[in-house]
Structure 1
Amino acid sequence: MFTSVRPLLACAALLLLLVPGTAQAQAVTQTQATQAAMTPADALQMLQAGNERFVNGQMLPRNYQDQVEATATGQYPFAVVLGCIDSRVPPEIVFDQGIGDIFAPRIAGNFVNTDILGSMEFATAVAGSKLIVVLGHSSCGAVKGACDHVELGNLTHTLANIAPAIYAVTDVAGERSSKNASYVEAVTHENVAMTVQNILDRSPVIKDLVDKGEVMVVGAMYDVATGRVTFME
């Protein structure tokens, strides 16, 4: 489904340097040149490769102080990852990225509203990111709460944003509550898929970039038991 990263771009975009005295590669922050040269498919493969390193315990060493200094005068992230606030799913870590590599807006239930869409428009149309990922995850507390119609202060309004996914899931047997793991999983997947579509439907700016082939919007699921991210078709 996805094109291979071109060898030259792979070297430039990953920005790997050998640590003196070793054969070990060390990641260096994205630059304006590598971001500009990257395609949406390249950006996707960057995240896929990063998650593979994370799962296999082969994360790249990073000098965060160097990255702080490198990004002090500008940033060139190649992707936007919209995730849940769940503490088990920090995007920079699960994709093995460093300071200045990705934008990472987070909200319980990984849905979009006007503010998040505006942030995504800044990230893509202004800051040059090539990829938007909507990252759901297994055992999502927000989805479970929405399935159980939980009401609690402002959380009631937050969980209401997941309701369309609940209504859309009609083919799962058993109880329609958080007690039914299959139901929760189906709603979680549907919520990610609907959020991807909402981005395209509600942001003409992003839709135009997608139509031009300059940006890709994809959904993905993180398994909290394995650490693996699966990108949705």
Structure 2
Amino acid sequence: MNRRTLMAGGLVLACAGVVPAGRRARAARPSTPDEALQKLIAGNARYVANTPVNTDHSKERFSRAAGQQPFAAVVACSDSRVVPELIFDQAPGDLFVVRVAGNFINEDGLASLEFGAAVLGVQAIVVLGHSGCGAVDATIKSVKERELPPGHLPSLVDAIRPAVYDVMAENPPDLLAAAIDRNAVLNARKSETSEPVLAGMHASGALVSVAANYDIATGEVSFL
């Protein structure tokens, strides 16, 4: 899909800070979705080994003001311990992050991912669950007790419930861990099959969506 798809009046939405034609905010941008994933995997290995290379966030600050050119998008949980740029050892401007408690993709999330892919050019989408996710745990509790939480929390439960139902039918030894993984897998599939923008880019080979799990205790990301 052409990145001009989401333009209005010939101009990309200015709020996104797209890099002007002919200018690149950062070098060594991956050229394929597989290379984008490998860059994330290598970055996480550095994070786990405590040998990060992206530690000086003042570098290239001026060039980042000209626009952004992230190579991957991460759908992450709002959990304060889950910081994608640190987890994958990437610099500001490298990742397009969509966050919501429970790392699920709703209509707003899909629109954000479409913008990231079709306009900004991200080549990989990672739906990142994490160990001990409180949103998934609360959904399990709601399903078991047949009672919805107060306020606006039922919207989170409704979004995560399909994954919980799926794994409950399989009777796994660790229901929470299984539901966390299934929630990431189902939402990665949603990203991959969302018509027309994301599904079209997946079909053309321009984009890949994967599910992953972040272990808070070890720092390791496992791709599912």
Moved more, 86-95 or 151-160: 151-160
- Residue number among 123, 129, 135 corresponding to 1:130 in the alignment: 123
Equivalent runs, 1:190-205 vs 2, <5 Å: 190-205=182-197
CA distance in structure 2 between the partners assigned to 1:61 and 1:80 by the alignment:
18
Equivalent runs, 1:133-144 vs 2, <5 Å: 133-144=126-137
Equivalent runs, 1:1-233 vs 2, <5 Å: 31=25, 34-35=28-29, 38-149=31-142, 150-169=148-167, 170-172=169-171, 182-232=174-224
CA distance in structure 1 between the partners assigned to 2:66 and 2:172 by the alignment:
54
Q: State the SS of the aligned residue for 1:54.
A: helix
How far is 1:136 from its partner? 0.3
Q: Percent identity?
A: 40
Question: What per-residue deviation string (whole Å, max 9, x for no partner) do you get for residues 182-228 of structure 1?
Answer: 00111111111110111223332011111111111001000111110
CA distance in structure 1 between the partners assigned to 2:209 and 2:78 by the alignment:
20
Structure 1: which 5+ residue stretches go unaligned?
1-29, 175-181
CA distance in structure 2 between the partners assigned to 1:61 and 1:202 by the alignment:
33
TM-score (norm 1): 0.79
CA distance in structure 2 between the partners assigned to 1:38 and 1:32 by the alignment:
13
**Does the CA contact (< 8 Å) of 1:131 and 1:215 recur in 2?**
yes
Give the number of aligned pairs.
195
Q: Which amino acid aligns with 1:195?
A: N
How far is 1:33 from its partner? 6.4
Q: Which amino acid aligns with 2:138?
A: G
Structure 2: which 5+ residue stretches go unaligned?
1-23, 143-147
Instruction: Indicate the structure whose relative CO is greater, using CA pairs within 8 Å and at least 6 residues apart.
Output: 2
Q: State the SS of the aligned residue for 1:148.
A: helix
TM-score (norm 2): 0.83
Question: What per-residue deviation string (whole Å, max 9, x for no partner) do you get for residues 22-59 of structure 1?
Answer: xxxxxxxx747643x51000000000000000000100
